[in-house]
Amino acid sequence: MTINFKLRGNNLEVFLFGELDESVAVKTRETLNYLIDTYSFSAMVLDLKGVNFLDSTGMGVVLGRYKKLRRLGRGLFLRNVNAQVDKVFATCGLYDIVEKQY
* Structure confidence by residue, pLDDT tens digits, 61-101: 999 999 999 999 999 999 999 999 999 999 999 999 999 98
- Residue pLDDT, tens place only, 34-54: 999 999 999 999 999 999 999
Confidence at residue 102, expressed as pLDDT on a 0 to 100 scale: 76
**Whether residue 59 has pLDDT greater than 80:** yes
DSSP per-residue letters across 17-28: EEEESTTTHHHH
Confidence at residue 54, expressed as pLDDT on a 0 to 100 scale: 94
Q: Give me the CATH number covering residue 72.
A: 3.30.750.24
Confidence at residue 15, expressed as pLDDT on a 0 to 100 scale: 98
Query: Structural domain tally of the chain?
Result: 1
Domain extent at residue 67 = 2-101
DSSP per-residue letters across 28-64: HHHHHHHHHHHS--SEEEEEEEEEEEE-HHHHHHHHH
| Sheet hosting strand 75-79, strand order edge to edge | 2-8, 11-20, 43-54, 75-79, 99-101
